[in-house]
């Protein structure tokens, strides 16, 4: 693994840096709880698309730049550095799109990929259900296979951005006699179809990015099935590899968060030896995560699948951010107490919102307990507990 940028990588970095300096919106990020904020975020996604930066890692024939994993990391680190707002269509760009690239038909790729890039279509994910979150194979949403399509009945929950989404990629049970991983189908659902009812969930941090989605006699055409009917588990596992392997956070994110922490806490706290030791621990682990990410990307660049290592990365970044935000709340003292009608310094409010989201990160993209099982079996070679065999 060579940690020195090549001449081509430096040219790419300079190109990205110059474009973002000219185009990136500055100031507060759009409020995604409002239609106006979502509209602003969509407009920015369109500008990225017009500039050729919507998904640099996608193959050129699908509208990307064909960037290798290291070049992709360079883009996202420069993006963060520019102060541009968080990406809106992450589930389309990072999950639905790559799944279509891997397993979609040419007709499906033509139908959806360009509209994901331009954010004409905003996507959400229909995996989790009441009683089937970390245990994804326990889903019960039914899909009755008929001649004119697949009739969907059931409920999805913790569905990110469902309030504003145009499409959902979902997993449903199409074989009523099947159990666990068999008899599932992966398909795309138009959120404007009759029978789709979205109910936003107000979270403890007051955000509304999640929702419940009730599906009542929603007829999905056969051409919306990805892969084969009853073979959806294979497709879903491909999607989850993208979710875990293309980490939601780079080391640059954590370096930025750490600086935010230092800026937000009382100055006298930074004179305490224990606090300095904690900050040092965080800095060390951010740097270790940086090198782990580069190692994973180097493997991907030579064609290796980041299976178990993707689980290691997900476990690392999700628990690292919890520790970082917990420390921040401790150091803010009484200002960190959660209450309604906040006034004054916005830093504690912002920090609490990040903290509650970080707690959720230990569950989404595969619960951390599941990641530990994968690591124990596939990295450490420990025996599988036969009592929990599927």
Instruction: Give domain limits for the chain.
Output: 7-88, 123-229, 247-388
pLDDT number for residue 119: 95
Written as tens digits, the pLDDT of the chain (390 aa) is: 556 778 888 999 999 999 999 999 988 888 777 788 889 999 999 999 999 999 998 999 999 999 888 888 889 889 988 989 989 999 999 899 999 999 999 999 999 999 999 999 999 999 988 988 767 888 999 999 999 999 999 999 988 888 899 999 999 999 988 888 899 999 999 999 999 999 988 776 666 778 899 999 999 999 999 999 999 999 988 887 666 545 556 788 888 888 888 887 778 888 889 999 999 999 999 988 888 888 777 777 777 766 677 788 888 888 888 999 888 888 877 767 655 545 555 667 777 778 877 887 787 767 788 888 888 888 788 887 654 444
Radius of gyration of the chain (CA): 21
Q: Where are the beta strands (DSSP E) in the chain?
A: 123-126, 142-146, 149-156, 167-173, 184-190, 196-201, 210-220, 225-226
Q: Is 243 among the residues known to form the active site? A: yes
Q: Is 6 exposed, middle or buried (0-12, 13-18, 19+ CB in 10 A)?
A: exposed
| Bridge partners, residue 190, by sequence | 167
* Domain 123-229 matches domain 247-388 at the CATH topology level: no
Q: Are 40 and 30 in contact (CB under 8 A)?
A: yes
Report the C-alpha gap between 382 and 375 in whole angstroms: 9
Q: 49: closest CA among 37, 67, 64?
A: 64
Residues 6+ apart with CB under 8 A from 135: none
CATH architecture of the region 123-229: Beta Barrel (2.40)
What DSSP designation does 84 have? P
Report the C-alpha gap between 369 and 367 in whole angstroms: 5
What separation in angstroms does the CA of 346 have from each of 2, 269, 330, 334? 41, 19, 16, 14
**Set 144, 243, 319, 337: catalytic member:** 243
226: phi then psi, degrees, rounded to nearest 5: -100, 125
| Bridge partners, residue 187, by sequence | 170, 225
Reading the block at residue 63, the tokens are 């509208």
Reading the block at residue 248, the tokens are 């939601």
| Bridge partners, residue 167, by sequence | 123, 190
CA 99 to chain centre: 14
- pTM for this prediction: 0.79
Q: Are 129 and 153 in contact (CB under 8 A)?
A: no
Topology of domain 247-388, per CATH? Butyryl-CoA Dehydrogenase, subunit A; domain 3 (1.20.140)
């Amino acid at each position: 693994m060579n940690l020195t940028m090549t001449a081509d990588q430096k040219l790419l970095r300079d190109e990205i840096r110059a474009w973002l300096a000219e185009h990136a919106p500055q100031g507060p990020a759009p409020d995604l709880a409002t239609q106006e904020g979502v509209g602003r975020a969509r407009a920015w996604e369109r500008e990225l698309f017009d500039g050729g930066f919507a998904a640099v890692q996608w193959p050129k024939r699908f509208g990307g730049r064909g960037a290798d994993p290291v070049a992709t990391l360079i883009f996202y680190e420069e993006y963060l550095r520019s102060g541009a707002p968080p990406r809106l269509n992450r589930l389309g760009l990072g999950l639905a799109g790559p799944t279509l690239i891997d397993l979609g038909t040419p007709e499906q790729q033509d139908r959806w990929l360009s509209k994901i890039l331009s954010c004409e279509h905003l996507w959400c994910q229909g995996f989790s259900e009441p009683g089937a979150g970390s245990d994804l194979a326990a889903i019960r949403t039914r899909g009755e296979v008929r001649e004119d399509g697949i009739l969907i009945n059931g409920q999805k929950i913790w569905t990110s951005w469902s309030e504003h989404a145009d499409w959902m990629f979902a997993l449903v049970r199409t074989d009523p006699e099947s159990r666990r991983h068999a008899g599932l189908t992966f398909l795309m659902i138009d959120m404007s179809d009759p029978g789709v009812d979205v109910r936003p969930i107000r979270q403890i941090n007051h955000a509304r990015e999640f929702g419940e989605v009730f599906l009542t006699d929603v007829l999905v055409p056969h051409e919306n099935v990805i892969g084969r009917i009853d073979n959806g588990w294979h497709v879903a596992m491909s999607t989850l590899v993208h979710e875990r392997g293309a980490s939601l956070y780079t080391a640059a994110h954590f370096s930025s968060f750490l600086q935010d922490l230092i800026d937000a806490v009382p100055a006298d706290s930074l004179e305490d030896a224990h606090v300095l030791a904690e900050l040092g621990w965080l800095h060390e682990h951010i740097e270790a995560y940086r090198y782990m990410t580069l190692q994973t990307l180097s493997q991907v660049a030579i064609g290796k699948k980041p299976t178990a290592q993707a689980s290691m990365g997900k476990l690392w970044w999700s628990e690292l951010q919890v520790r970082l935000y917990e420390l921040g709340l401790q150091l803010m003292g009484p200002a960190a107490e959660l209450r309604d009608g906040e006034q004054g310094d916005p830093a504690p409010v912002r920090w609490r919102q990040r903290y509650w989201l970080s707690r959720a990160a230990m569950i989404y993209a595969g619960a951390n307990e599941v990641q530990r099982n994968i690591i124990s079996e596939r990295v450490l070679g420990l025996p599988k507990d036969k009592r929990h065999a599927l």
